[in-house]
Amino acid sequence: MIHYHTYYIKFRQNGKPESQTKRYQAANPGHAFQKCHHEFPGAQLIQGWRQSDCRDEYAVTTYEPPSIVRIVAGPKAKEEQPLFGCVNEISLSPKKRSGAATHRTCN
């Protein structure tokens, strides 16, 4: 059974000097940061915390935000076909494999 806790996430939206704090119900602090990031995709995550009462004591646990660096995939690398002197085409496709290779005469 998953226990959800209340986490507070402090963030700053792009171009705004003041920060905001929003409350999230989550299983762990990473999940709370993730919810904030999905709700405010361009925001800078500053800090998270959880408050709790334990045996007449008040406790605050703080959390640093995780890295949310995005890596953009580049174009797919093109396969290079090696050149064989006497072969025009080599195919590994089952449809084209009847002759396995098309040969030409080498002189």
Per residue in 34-53, pLDDT (tens digit) is: 999 999 988 999 999 999 88
Locate 22 and state its tokens. Answer: 């929003």
Inter-residue contact 21 to 8 (CB < 8 Å): yes
Inter-residue contact 74 to 91 (CB < 8 Å): no
The whole-number pLDDT of residue 64 equals: 94
SS (H, E, C) the chain: CCCCEEEEEEEECCCCCCCEEEEEEECCHHHHHHHHHHHCCCCEEEEEEEEEEECCEEEEEEECCCCCCCCCCCCCCCCCCCCCCCEEEECCCHHHCCCCEEECCCC
For the stretch 77-105, pLDDT in tens is: 666 655 555 655 666 666 655 555 555 55
* pTM of structure: 0.61
The whole-number pLDDT of residue 98 equals: 54
Answer yes or no: is pLDDT of 58 > 70: yes
Averaged pLDDT of the chain: 80
Torsion, Cα 49 53 55 58, to 10 degrees, reads: 70
